[in-house]
Amino acid sequence: MARRWFTWMIYVLIGLAAFYVVSQLLTNTTGFLSSIIVMVGIAAVIYGLIYFLFIRKRLGSGAGSGNTDDMKKYKQAVKQSKQKYGKPAGETTKQSKPPKKQTKKRKASPSHLRVIEGTKGKNKDDNHVSF
């Protein structure tokens, strides 16, 4: 029963908040819009601070910046690969193979199929036509 009372209390609070928003929108439109703009601006500033202080460090500082340990290790491995092989890691060249001449391929019949000569038309009477 206590749960049902709590649910009704939440509905009443939401209804009162909606009533207040509508009454402010109708009676004091400019004040309402300015307060909404201020709230959105403050929320954006708070999100920006949280992002730049906490989230960005966790996700890494971006592609190509090279500030994280993993990026430094990757760049070192690429450098060693270039010294050893003389080309960037992961790059394959297709120029090493000479181009092949285009020839028409003959369509080969499957080896498991064969034609069986039969006497399908010989047993029937050629003069008799059935519908």
Structural domain span for residue 27? 2-83
Q: Identify the CA nearest to 21 among candidates 5, 43, 39.
A: 39
Please indicate, yes or no, if residue 123 is contained in any of the structural domains: no
Residue 109 lies in a domain: no
Kindly report, residue by residue over 15-27, the tens digit of the pLDDT: 999 999 999 999 9
pLDDT in tens, 113-122: 777 777 766 5
Q: Does some domain include residue 122?
A: no
pLDDT in tens, 27-67: 999 999 999 999 999 999 999 999 988 887 777 555 545 46
Report if residue 88 sits inside a domain: no
With beta carbons less than 8 A apart as the criterion, state whether 60 and 71 touch: yes
Say if 78 falls within a structural domain.
yes
Predicted local distance difference test score (pLDDT) of residue 29 = 92
Rounded to the nearest 10 degrees, what angle do helices 2-27 and 29-50 cross at? Answer: 120
Would 55 be classed as within a structural domain? yes
Burial of 81: CB neighbours in 10 Å, binned 0-12, 13-18, 19+:
middle
Count of domains in the chain? 1
The model's confidence at residue 10, banded by pLDDT at 50, 70 and 90, is very high
The b/e string for 58-78 (b: 16+ C-beta within 10 A; e otherwise) is eeeeeeeeeeeeebeeeeeee
